[in-house]
Amino acid sequence: MAANKSERALVDEWRDVLAVHARTTCELDRALHPHGLGASDFEVLDVLAEGGSEGGSEGGPAAWRVQELADRVHLSQSALSRLVARLEKDGLVARGMCPEDRRGVQVRLTEKGLDRHTEVKPLQREILTRMLDRSS
């Protein structure tokens, strides 16, 4: 009986984590929509703004290989490719070949992407603070 109670507590805790994630993602999507972004879009911009595995040129943002970025933002490579294509169409990121591996693709923030990230970051951080403090 104790094992079942422990298992039930584990499942309840997991479902609580999922609920916090879902509520936070929905809140982020609503708040970021007027800025032309969703929660996943901002997450990609945020990771790119932090700097990647390849140093930025002339002090610009660093590039991330698509696979590294997919691992970091927890999206499948195909979902990330669609998202990056949309961000590229909006002028927020640029894609290019990896200099050390011509089969690889790198993603880098553009000036417009960096500006959008800077504009929206305080809003995203405020929502995270509010939503995650509530869940503690």
| pLDDT per position as a tens digit, 107-136 | 999 999 999 999 999 999 999 999 998 655
- C-alpha span between 16 and 77 (Å, rounded): 27
Sorted by where each begins, the domain ranges of the chain are 2-135
Q: Minimal CA–CA distance to 31: which of 130, 133, 134? A: 130
- pTM for the predicted model, two decimal places: 0.83
Name the fold adopted by 2-135: Arc Repressor Mutant, subunit A (1.10.10)
